Structure 1
Amino acid sequence: MMKLDFDDWNIHVGKPHPFNDRVKPIDNGTDRPDPARYHDPAFMAEEWDKVFARSWLLAGPASDIPEPGDFFTFEIGPENFIIVRGDDGAIHAHYNVCPHRGSRLVTSQFGSLDRFTCPFHSWKFDLEGHNIAVTDEETFRPEVLCHKHDLTSVRCEEAVGLIFLSMDSEIEPLHDWLAPILPQLELYQIDQMYVVQHRRSDWGSNWKGGVDAFAEIYHLHAVHPQTQCLMDDRTQIDLWSGGLSRQFVPFAQPAARYADQETVNPGIQMMLRDAGIDPATFNGTAAETRHAVQQAKRRRSDQLGLGYERFSDSQLSDSVVYSLFPNVQIGCHPEAIFLHRFVPHATDPNQFTYDTCILYRHVDAPGYGAPAWMGLGEDVDLSGATRPDIIHTKLGEPPCLGEVLDQDSELLPIVQAGARSRGFKGPLWSEQEGRLRHFHAELDRRMGKRP
């Protein structure tokens, strides 16, 4: 079996740093999984019960609910939850269901309330989920109200400024599950960031097709050839138990397969300017710009007191992308992160919702900002004073996520159609797709299909 020489890449990224240390490899075998997982309704139903109902699910950033009474709703599959900061300052998660007749309690995505009042019969609940008023309570037989009539709450825990919930009351603590990568995520100070852009888009594919596409960069040369002049696609991959993984995505240098390693092309010029380097005065080649960007950002950190000494060189120039089982990816940068969630459809295995948002930490200093390639326009409020609306593109509407993501949204329905063919016997993954095999191995373990 071919083994990529990632150690050579580690040397190339700059000074040795513990962050870049490779972890002990995990061998997930060479099996070819049944492609029914991408389209079979029975698999989808079993997957909901065994995977989503028993996993930690990323609900959203804690910055969305800074004050008591602030809430947002989180929808996944057939369920909808209220995530609220209680009067006690703690974060709570409740099914968005009134115990009386099943009505949704709130219909807005964000808000602030001192209590929840059912719109159907005006039963009232405090922020912690306790029933505090039953309308015309004297008309109920006492034996009826002896049944539990508080809100149904679920496990809810926070890590690095992100809120997770689980429908499984017996699940291991969140910090225990995230332990292998938690110190790494903490370096980015996500708890000091807030949402500056949030978009959703319905795609004609199974949610795992989305996970697969975003967990490898093997496809960049074919689907996104415009990226080859400014980002590499043969990089370090690390795997941990529990379905956790990461991959380095190097920016500001051409891919090794790209013919021109000399010309400082417009894309790389943008990244030089982003780091405070005037491309007109830069005398190096395209292959040397990544190191120059890293050093320029270190100088900026020294001038502004940003504390970038905690980062390795590659963290200053690259995207370090983490996968959190089952459906989350976090792309980390010192100034901003992006969250990708691949949300299963409630009933159709051939659809999912792609949810992506950018979180940013404001520093009031010249030249500081989110990476330019993230595409945050001048109209985007970076101050944190306003929480942006969620822009939702429905299935069949023209995509509006940006050139690269629009290419993915157009390709995945084609892949989904092929996955349903009798001629497709299941994926054959390369070592460059090691995160995909790792994800599906964890999926099969949760489904009881492997030890």
Structure 2
Amino acid sequence: MKTEFDLWNIHTGAPHPFNARAPRIDNGTGRPDPDRYTDPAYARAEWDRVFARSWLLAGPLSDIPEPGDFMTFDIGPESFIVVRGEDGTIHAHYNVCPHRGSQLVTTDFGSLDRFTCPFHSWKFGLDGRNQEVTDRDTFRPEVLCHGTDLSSVRCEVAAGLVFVAMDPAIKPLREFLAPILPQLELYEIDQMYVVQHRRSDWGANWKGGVDAFAEIYHLHAVHPQTQGLMDDRTQIDLWPGGLSRQFVPFAQPSPRFPDQESVNPGIQFMLRDAGIDPATFTGTARDTRAALQQAKRQRGVELGLRYERFSDSQLSDSVVYSIFPNVQIGCHPEAVFLHRFLPHPTDPNQFTYDTCILYRHVDAPGYSAPAWMGLAEDVDLSGRTRPEVIHTRLGEPPCLGEVLDQDSELLPVVQKGAHSRGFKGPLWSEQEGRLRHFHAELDRLMASG
């Protein structure tokens, strides 16, 4: 079924519907209690009222392409197995044997025809049904009648991503994502696969991570190197359920940057990535973003990439979505960033930052993921191998790249300040509207009891 994005004609000169602003949502001007970042009791309630009642991103569907392929998804105190069944159906189960509670699998990924408990070798089908109880005749029937199957959870797929939910009564995933789902589907994430996956433990609350990634107000202070090639006064859109997006324009200086004319080295890097020779480019920095858009659109025509479904800004910018509670997706025609902020099982002063890059392979000259994503030259872009997860522990250098490393260094400083009696709670500007929107949904669920 075609959407308004597919039907839009670039030659009419009409605004692309993708860029249309969402109806305004006013989340007020309140100042929330900072205990949400530090209080263990709040974190325990948050697990039951927020995470146990929300759709949670387990991973991309491309990680389990064949029957028997599985991935584990660990978040807070829980671990889940997400597996493709023999008939192609996606199942999700708690990663725990009903006999004595042993975890069934301990690897990030794998492929099995069934699950076997390492403790007493009980066996389970991919659909979670028990296939064998070791020495069944030694159990009284009244014991086994309590249930020998795996405990399964809701599992649904949208836009090439697999979500799980612990709440059996939760609304369907596509209904929850409805305001943004047609936009996400434009990027065809279902045709992408992981080419880089990194995980690191940070000394801060998971909401501190969400907050930092949901605004670009901090770029001039924390990441000043970005000011010459990224605008930081941008469009923000909010939708019910804690959903939001923000455009992050590339290849043009921030209004804060003193030189708005020179095509600086950072912008030259982006022009070159789009196939434009900076040495022959005759415009100024005011012209570079539009030139990059035109070059990519032409490349799309030459390579048959169907870029006509994208607005100009989608070709040059990062469009970053927040999916409540703990996911952000940075979208580009060639590749997307998936960011997950995973709460620590017991300590509100720690979380795990999980990030991966998904890429759509096209074997054509000049086509690649945006160079600023920082993929190493030895990264396999063919999709033939799934990279291992590189996990750095708390206190180890995360080695995520210059910008992300700067965030990992700053957030523990912010977390320490959140414990101070002098901090009364955040004061959000309109540039931080996505943060206020996120916390409004958080408060709604926390008040639900």
Shared fold per TM-score greater than 0.5: yes
Q: Are 1:408 and 2:404 matched, yes or no?
A: no
Extract unaligned runs of 5+ from structure 1.
Answer: 1-13
Q: TM-score, normalised by structure 1?
A: 0.96
1:70 deviation in Å? 0.3
Question: Secondary structure of 2:201's partner?
Answer: strand
1:377 deviation in Å? 1.1
Q: Could you tell me which amino acid in structure 2 is paired with residue 239 of structure 1?
A: L
What are the within-5 Å matches in structure 2 for residues 111-260 of structure 1? 111-260=110-259
1:64-89 residue CA offsets vs partner (Å, 9 max, x unmatched): 00000000100000000000001121
Extract unaligned runs of 5+ from structure 2.
Answer: 1-12
Q: Could you tell me which amino acid in structure 2 is paired with residue 150 of structure 1?
A: D
Question: Secondary structure of 2:153's partner?
Answer: strand
Residue in structure 2 matched with residue 34 of structure 1 by the alignment? 33
Residue in structure 1 matched with residue 382 of structure 2 by the alignment? 383
1:399 deviation in Å? 2.3
1:235 deviation in Å? 0.2
CA distance in 2, matches of 1:440, 1:161: 27
1:15 deviation in Å? 6.2
What are the within-5 Å matches in structure 2 for residues 1-80 of structure 1? 16-80=15-79
Residue in structure 2 matched with residue 302 of structure 1 by the alignment? 301
1:96 and 1:106 in contact (8 A); partners too: yes
CA distance in 2, matches of 1:349, 1:287: 44
CA distance in 2, matches of 1:136, 1:350: 45
CA distance in 1, matches of 2:73, 2:256: 42
Percent sequence identity is: 81
Question: Secondary structure of 2:395's partner?
Answer: coil
1:15 and 1:313 in contact (8 A); partners too: no
1:82 and 1:94 in contact (8 A); partners too: yes
CA distance in 1, matches of 2:49, 2:224: 38
1:368-415 residue CA offsets vs partner (Å, 9 max, x unmatched): 000000000111000000000100110001120000000000000000
What are the within-5 Å matches in structure 2 for residues 391-402 of structure 1? 391-402=390-401
1:16 deviation in Å? 1.7
CA distance in 2, matches of 1:390, 1:445: 35
1:263 deviation in Å? 1.2
Q: Are 1:441 and 2:422 matched, yes or no?
A: no
2:53 and 2:167 in contact (8 A); partners too: yes
CA distance in 2, matches of 1:382, 1:321: 23
Residue in structure 2 matched with residue 282 of structure 1 by the alignment? 281
Question: Secondary structure of 1:416's partner?
Answer: helix
Residue in structure 1 matched with residue 368 of structure 2 by the alignment? 369
1:4-55 residue CA offsets vs partner (Å, 9 max, x unmatched): xxxxxxxxxx962111011110000000000000000000000000000000
Q: Could you tell me which amino acid in structure 1 is paired with residue 28 of structure 2?
A: G
CA distance in 2, matches of 1:302, 1:329: 30
How many residues were matched structurally? 437
Q: TM-score, normalised by structure 2?
A: 0.97
CA distance in 1, matches of 2:276, 2:344: 45
Q: Could you tell me which amino acid in structure 2 is paired with residue 170 of structure 1?
A: A
Residue in structure 1 matched with residue 10 of structure 2 by the alignment? none
Question: Secondary structure of 1:234's partner?
Answer: coil
State the Cα RMSD in Å: 0.9
2:49 and 2:448 in contact (8 A); partners too: no
Residue in structure 2 matched with residue 103 of structure 1 by the alignment? 102
CA distance in 2, matches of 1:178, 1:138: 48
Residue in structure 2 matched with residue 321 of structure 1 by the alignment? 320
Residue in structure 2 matched with residue 358 of structure 1 by the alignment? 357
1:347 deviation in Å? 0.3
CA distance in 1, matches of 2:269, 2:173: 39
Q: Could you tell me which amino acid in structure 2 is paired with residue 324 of structure 1?
A: I
Which 4+ stretches in 1 moved above 4 angstroms? none
Question: Secondary structure of 2:149's partner?
Answer: coil
1:15 and 1:312 in contact (8 A); partners too: no
Question: Secondary structure of 2:292's partner?
Answer: helix
CA distance in 1, matches of 2:157, 2:397: 36
CA distance in 1, matches of 2:113, 2:214: 41
CA distance in 2, matches of 1:445, 1:104: 34
1:449 deviation in Å? 7.0
1:82-104 residue CA offsets vs partner (Å, 9 max, x unmatched): 00001121100000000000001
CA distance in 2, matches of 1:129, 1:351: 33
Question: Secondary structure of 1:409's partner?
Answer: helix
CA distance in 2, matches of 1:398, 1:319: 26
